[in-house]
C-alpha cells in the first residue's frame, strides 16, 4: 500500500452469535455453531449440519440502530439483513456519526455470491404451490424478487447509513469479501477516499446447500480442515464488515486504530470452474503479491489464517501453496471453519476480523476439528496458542473459478 490503511471498526454476525464479542468467545472456547438445518425443509437436514444464524435479524438491527418498517423489510433479503447488522456494529465500534461519514465521503464495497437467492426461492415456491392449487398460473406481486440482485445489499447499506462515496458490489465466489476489503483499501491508499466500509455477507439457500451436496463435498460430521481423515465442508451464513480509514483521517479524529491492512494480492488460476490449480499457482501468486504490497517477507508473517474448507482438493492445494511461499519455515496455520461453516462470500471478511483479533489478543486460534494432520510440513495449530511477538498475519480466501485473494494485516499502534 502506498499509504497506510487503518482499521477502526469491526462487525460480525454468524452461527456463533451476533457481534465481535461472540466471535471472540467462540475462538477462545472452541464452541461450534454448526447445527441441523432449520431455515428451510430438506431431506438432508438431519444428515449435513450447517452454520445457520439463530437470531432474529430484524430485531438485531433494531437493537443496533432502529426498527425497520414492514415495507422496508419486504425489500430486504436475508443476506441484506446480515450485512446491515454487521455494518451497524462496525460503524458503532468505529464511533463514526452520520455527519462524519458524510463529511468524509465514505463509501461501501461489499462481496456477495448467494445474494437474495433464499428470498427468491421462497417466492418461487409460493407461486408454484398456488399455481398447482388453482390448476393454472395466477398473477402475483413479485416485487420481492427485486432483492435477488447482488447490488441490493450495497444499496441498502449506502441508503441506511448515508454512504455517498465509492460504491461497488463484488462477486468472485468465496474470495468476494476479501477482494472487497482489499479493493476498498486501495481506494484509500490512492487518496480517493478517507473512509470505506467493506466486507462480505451471504445467507444460506437451497441452491447453495443442495449444490455443494451434488458436488460431493459436504461432510456429515462437520469440517475437519487439514485433517488426514477429513470428509468435506459445511455451508454457513454470516457477515463480516470493517471500517477502513486513511491514517491521516483516523489520527485527526483520534480514532482507536485496531490494526493496519498492509498488503493485498489477488489472482486467477484460469484452470477449472470449481477445482483449484493442482500446483497452487494462483494461491501462491496471491500470497506473494500481498507480501510484496506490504513490503514484507515470508519470515515476517507470524500466522496464516487459511481458507481451509475441509475438502480434499482445497486443503491439499493450500498446503502446497503455503509450503512454497514460506519454505522450510513452519509458520503457524489454522482454519476456523468448524466454528461457523464456510460462509462463502463472507468468509474472507470474517477471517479478516479473526486476524485482527489475533493481533490484538496475541493469541492464535486453533485449527478446530484437527486430529491427524494431513501434512507434517505445516505447523497446524491443534489448540489455541499464545503469540506475544505476533506483528503480521496473512489471510487466504480462494473461490470457484480459481479466484484467489490474500490480505496482510499488521498490529496497530
Name all domains of the chain by residue range, CATH numbers in brackets.
5-131+142-411 (3.40.47.10)
What mean pLDDT is predicted for residues 400-406?
A: 90
Report the alpha-carbon angle 236-238-239, nearest 5.
145
295: confidence class by pLDDT, cuts 50, 70, 90: very high
**What's CA 177's distance to the chain center, in Å?**
5
138: confidence class by pLDDT, cuts 50, 70, 90: low
Residue 1: pLDDT over 90: no
pLDDT of residue 144: 56
Q: Across the strands, what pairs with 236?
A: 51
Tell me how crowded residue 146 is: count the other CB atoms within 10 A of its CB: 14
pLDDT of residue 145: 63
364: confidence class by pLDDT, cuts 50, 70, 90: very high
What mean pLDDT is predicted for residues 23-45?
A: 96
DSSP state of 327: T
Lowest model confidence (mean pLDDT) among 59-68, 183-192, 382-391, 396-405: 396-405
262: confidence class by pLDDT, cuts 50, 70, 90: very high
pLDDT tens track for 89-118: 999 999 999 999 999 999 999 999 999 888
Ramachandran bin of 210, using left for φ above 0, alpha for ψ from -120 to 50, beta for the remaining angles:
alpha
φ and ψ at residue 7, rounded to 5 degrees: -110, 120
137: confidence class by pLDDT, cuts 50, 70, 90: low
pLDDT of residue 131: 64
Catalytically annotated residues: 174, 307, 342
Measured between alpha carbons, how far is residue 322 from residues 133, 305, 401 in Å? 56, 11, 20
384: confidence class by pLDDT, cuts 50, 70, 90: very high
pLDDT of residue 216: 93
Residue 140: pLDDT over 70: no
* Closest by CA position to 118, among listed 148, 93, 156: 148
- 268 burial level (CB within 10 Å; 0-12, 13-18, 19+): middle
DSSP state of 341: -
φ and ψ at residue 140, rounded to 5 degrees: -155, 145
Residue 316: pLDDT over 60: yes
* Closest by CA position to 201, among listed 269, 145, 154, 146: 154
Lowest model confidence (mean pLDDT) among 135-149, 184-198, 300-314, 361-375: 135-149
Amino acid at each position: 500500500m502506498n499509504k497506510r490503511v487503518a482499521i477502526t471498526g469491526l462487525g460480525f454476525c454468524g452461527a456463533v452469535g451476533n457481534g465481535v464479542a461472540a466471535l471472540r468467545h467462540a475462538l477462545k472456547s472452541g464452541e461450534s455453531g454448526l447445527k441441523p438445518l432449520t431455515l428451510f425443509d430438506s431431506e438432508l437436514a438431519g444428515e449435513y449440519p450447517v452454520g445457520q444464524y439463530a437470531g432474529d435479524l430484524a430485531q438485531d438491527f433494531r437493537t443496533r440502530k432502529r426498527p425497520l418498517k414492514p415495507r422496508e423489510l419486504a425489500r430486504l433479503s436475508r443476506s441484506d439483513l446480515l450485512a446491515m447488522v454487521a455494518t451497524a456494529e462496525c460503524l458503532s465500534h468505529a464511533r463514526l456519526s452520520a455527519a462524519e461519514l458524510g463529511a468524509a465521503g465514505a463509501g461501501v464495497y461489499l462481496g456477495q455470491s448467494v445474494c437474495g437467492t433464499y428470498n427468491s426461492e421462497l417466492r418461487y415456491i409460493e407461486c408454484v404451490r398456488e399455481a398447482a392449487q388453482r390448476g393454472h398460473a395466477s398473477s402475483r406481486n413479485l416485487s420481492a424478487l427485486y432483492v435477488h440482485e447482488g447490488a441490493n445489499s450495497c444499496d441498502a447499506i449506502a441508503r441506511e447509513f448515508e454512504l455517498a462515496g465509492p460504491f461497488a458490489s463484488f462477486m468472485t465466489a468465496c474470495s468476494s469479501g476479501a477482494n472487497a476489503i482489499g479493493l476498498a483499501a486501495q481506494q484509500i491508499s490512492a487518496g480517493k477516499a478517507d473512509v470505506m466500509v467493506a466486507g462480505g455477507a451471504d445467507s444460506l439457500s437451497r441452491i447453495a446447500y443442495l449444490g455443494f451436496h451434488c458436488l460431493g463435498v459436504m461432510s456429515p460430521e462437520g469440517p475437519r480442515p487439514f485433517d488426514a481423515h477429513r470428509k468435506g465442508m459445511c455451508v454457513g451464513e454470516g457477515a463480516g464488515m470493517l471500517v477502513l480509514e486513511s491514517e491521516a483521517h483516523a489520527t485527526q479524529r483520534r480514532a482507536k486504530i485496531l490494526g493496519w491492512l498492509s498488503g493485498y494480492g489477488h489472482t486467477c488460476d484460469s484452470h477449472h470452474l470449481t477445482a483449484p490449480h493442482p500446483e497452487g499457482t494462483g494461491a501462491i501468486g496471491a500470497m506473494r503479491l500481498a507480501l510484496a504490497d506490504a513490503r514484507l517477507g515470508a519470515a515476517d508473517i507470524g500466522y496464516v489464517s487459511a481458507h481451509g474448507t475441509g475438502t480434499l482438493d482445497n486443503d491439499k492445494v493450500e498446503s502446497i501453496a503455503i509450503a512454497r511461499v514460506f519454505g522450510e519455515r513452519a509458520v503457524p496455520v489454522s482454519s476456523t471453519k468448524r466454528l461457523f461453516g464456510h460462509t462463502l462470500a463472507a468468509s474472507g471478511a470474517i477471517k479478516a476480523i479473526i486476524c485482527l483479533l489475533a493481533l490484538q489478543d496475541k493469541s492464535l486460534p486453533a485449527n478446530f476439528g484437527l486430529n491427524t494432520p494431513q501434512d507434517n510440513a505445516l505447523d497446524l495449530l491443534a489448540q489455541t496458542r499464545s503469540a506475544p511477538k505476533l506483528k503480521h498475519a496473512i489471510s487466504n480466501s480462494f473461490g470457484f473459478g480459481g479466484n484467489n485473494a490474500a490480505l496482510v494485516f499488521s498490529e496497530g499502534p
